[in-house]
Each structure stands twice: as C-alpha cells, then as structure tokens.
C-alpha cells in the first residue's frame, strides 16, 4: 500500500529545484524513475520522456495512463531554489501530526503523492479513462507540458486538473504574466557633459514613472474579479560611478493581465510611451504567459463544486493556460495554500493531503 504522507516525504528528499545562484539544479528524471514502478504496480502504462528545461539543464516528465485518457491530472515535479531563512534543511522533510515541511511539499509534491494515492483508492476494475502527468520545468519554463501537448499522448484528453496549492478552492480563471526589458544605449562619458549627452538611466526612470502612473490610472479596469494590471517595476540598472554617464541602462518590468487583455493595444501603448521619451529605447518581451479562463467555466464548476470550498479566479499563473490554448479545458486544484509556496519552511497540511486524495479519486472516476 502506498502511504501518501511517506511518499511525499520521499519526494521532498529528492532535490528537483531549478538552478539558483549556486547553479545547482535538481534531477527531474530521477523522480520520474522513482515513481515509475509505483504506477506500473497500479496497472498503468508508463512513459518517461526527456524534456530539457528552457533555461538550461536536463528535464523530464512521466505520463501514466489507464486506457485512452479523457481526464488528466497534472502536477509539476520541479521546485524553486530554496529561499533564505530555512530553519531545517530544505530536502530533509519534517513531519508532525499536522503538517509536512520541506521544499516542494506544498508546490506541488503533495499533489503528486495525493494523485497516486487517489488512483490506489479506485478499484482496479474502475481504473480507466484517465491519466497522470508529473512534469518538470514549471517554475521557470514550460518545456515538459509543451512537449507533452505536442505528443500523441494527449490525443483523447478533454479536460485537465492542473495541480497548484489552492487552499481547497478551484480556479477556473487566472491572470497571465508578461515581462519586458527596456534598454537604451547612449554615448557614455564624463558627468561634466551630462547636460549634453544621452542619460540612459534618467530616460528609463522616466519610462518607469510613466508605466507606474498608467497602472495607477487603470486600477479598476478589466473584469471585476481581476481589476488592474498588477504592473511591477522590478529593476533599473546601468550605473557604474557617480561621475560616469553610463553607456547603457536597462529597465525590467512586468504585468499580470486578466483574461480578455488586448495585448496588441498594450504593445502599441508601450511603444508610444518609449518613443515619446527617446525613440532609441528598445523593448524586448522576456515572458509571455497568457491569461487563463476555462473554456466552459460552468461545466468545470459543476464538475468540481461538490469537492471544493469555492470556485473562482486565482491570483497566480499556472500551466492551465497551456491546456486551454491547446483546446483542452482545465481547472486548477491542489492541496496546500499558495501562501506557503516558495517560502522558507514551506509546508502542507496533512489534512489537505487526505482531502486531495479523496477529491482526486472522485474526479478521476467521474471522467465519463
């Protein structure tokens, strides 16, 4: 018998972090290979595929199916690097009567353990029509899910449960994520010539202020459930010394648009702001994660409502947007709370794991 709590501890003990400042990345394929025999023993057909991470390094996913799947449960294997402030080693799980602490326990190895235990709870004769996908490269890229969605494995899939820590809620919509780098290159030189030479830092500072003013003016635009742009000025870099006009500067900023956001209109507005300050400013889009809204939100709500506390929008981006773009409807559900994700001493409540096992078992059986 598979104990989901022990399995979660075993998963936490296997580092799968994206590379941090130390350059050390965890091993996604090792987790896939550890899970494979468990899934085989539950009667699944199992596939392990390499999927190199988009920002460098090896990656992988494991897909298990019980007949041609129409319903998919997807949780990601990788984690962020360990945040500062941990009071115990991040990869040494700590278990109490109420919670399990460890890197990835909440986001989303608890969902992996619960998903496998959910299949175990389904009688063997009723295990058909669904699949489990445990994928890598979610925290920085989307390599695994992109590769899976381009494969024959997803041919029959109609709907997906995308696992993220939702505090027992279900998400049928969420914001996207767009990030940009604005750059200006000038002549550079001695600060005594500052009145007559291009000042890249000052120009990009004016752009940053213009963007922030625009965000404040649009705090109440968009759908009532997700108003505003969540526009963040994240960094302004380029100076070397007080008496040196920097040759170049770079501004990093992002926004989180709601479903229905007009990207083309935003790009035109952004270009207008930059050209009015200095036509030589160049802007590169670094991240383009589309917003998500279930293709049939009413149907998704009817499906999941008996098992969750509420159904509605989420504040954070998930790979559910990729399923939607591929024509597969999706809902976001998982054990734990996003407030614990990415934090020092990340944890998941044991009661949440048991809830997820029961919830996933019911949803996978209602695939028809």
What's the pLDDT at 245? Answer: 95
Report whether 363 contacts 304 (CB < 8 A): yes
Task: Specify whether the CB–CB gap between 239 and 246 falls below 8 A.
Answer: yes
Residue boundaries of the structural domains of the chain: 4-174+291-365, 177-288
- pLDDT digit string (tens) for 309-335? 999 999 899 999 999 999 999 999 999
H/E stretch holding 306 reads none
What is the pLDDT, as a whole number, of residue 240? 92
pLDDT value at residue 247? 97
The class of domain 177-288 in CATH terms is: alpha beta
Give the whole-number percent of the chain exceeding pLDDT 70: 99
User: How high does pLDDT run on average in the chain?
Assistant: 96
The answer to whether the predicted template modeling score (pTM) of the entire model surpasses 0.75 is yes
pLDDT of residue 177: 95
pLDDT, average across residues 63-91: 97
Catalytic residue numbers, as ranges: 138
- Stated as kind and residue range, the H or E segment containing 271 is helix 263-277
- The pLDDT of residue 368: 44
Mean of pLDDT values over 287-296: 94
Rounded to an integer, what distance in angstroms lies between the CA atom of residue 245 and that of residue 331? 51
Q: What CA–CA distance (Å, rounded) separates 14 from 68?
A: 30
User: What confidence tier does 191 reach under pLDDT thresholds 50, 70, 90?
Assistant: very high
Which fold is adopted by the domain 4-174+291-365? Answer: Aminopeptidase (3.40.630)
């Amino acid at each position: 018998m598979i104990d989901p709590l022990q399995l979660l501890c075993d998963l936490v003990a296997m580092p799968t972090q994206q590379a941090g400042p130390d350059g050390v990345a965890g091993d996604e394929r090792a987790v896939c290979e550890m899970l494979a025999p468990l899934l085989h023993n539950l009667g699944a057909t199992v596939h392990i595929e390499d999927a190199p991470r988009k920002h460098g390094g090896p990656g992988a996913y494991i897909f298990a199916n019980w007949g041609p799947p129409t319903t998919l449960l997807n949780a990601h294997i990788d984690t962020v690097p360990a945040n500062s402030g941990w009071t115990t080693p991040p990869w040494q799980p700590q278990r109490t009567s109420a919670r399990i602490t460890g890197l990835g326990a909440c986001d989303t190895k608890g969902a992996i353990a619960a998903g496998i235990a959910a299949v175990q709870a389904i009688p063997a004769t009723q295990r058909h029509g669904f699949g489990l996908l445990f994928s890598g490269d979610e925290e920085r890229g989307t390599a695994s899910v992109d590769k899976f969605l381009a494969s024959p494995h997803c041919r029959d899939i109609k709907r997906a449960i995308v696992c993220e820590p939702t505090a027992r809620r279900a998400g049928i919509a969420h914001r996207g994520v767009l990030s940009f780098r604005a750059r200006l290159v000038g002549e550079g030189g001695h600060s005594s010539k500052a009145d007559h030479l291009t000042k890249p830092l000052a120009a990009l500072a004016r752009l940053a202020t213009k963007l922030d003013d625009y965000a404040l003016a649009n705090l109440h635009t968009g759908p009532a459930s997700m108003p505003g742009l969540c526009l963040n000025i994240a960094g302004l870099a380029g100076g070397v010394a007080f008496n040196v006009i920097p040759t170049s500067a770079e501004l990093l900023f992002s926004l989180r648009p709601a479903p229905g956001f007009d990207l083309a209109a935003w790009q035109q507005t952004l270009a207008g702001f930059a050209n009015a300050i200095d036509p030589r400013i160049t802007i590169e889009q670094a991240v383009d994660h589309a917003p998500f809204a279930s293709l049939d939100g009413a149907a998704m709500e009817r499906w999941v409502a008996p098992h969750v506390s509420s159904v509605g929008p989420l504040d954070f981006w998930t790979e559910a947007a990729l399923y939607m773009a591929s024509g597969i409807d999706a809902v976001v559900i998982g054990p734990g709370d996003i407030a614990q994700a990415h934090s020092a001493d990340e944890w998941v409540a044991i009661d949440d794991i048991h809830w997820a096992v029961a919830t996933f078992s019911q949803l996978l059986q209602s695939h028809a």
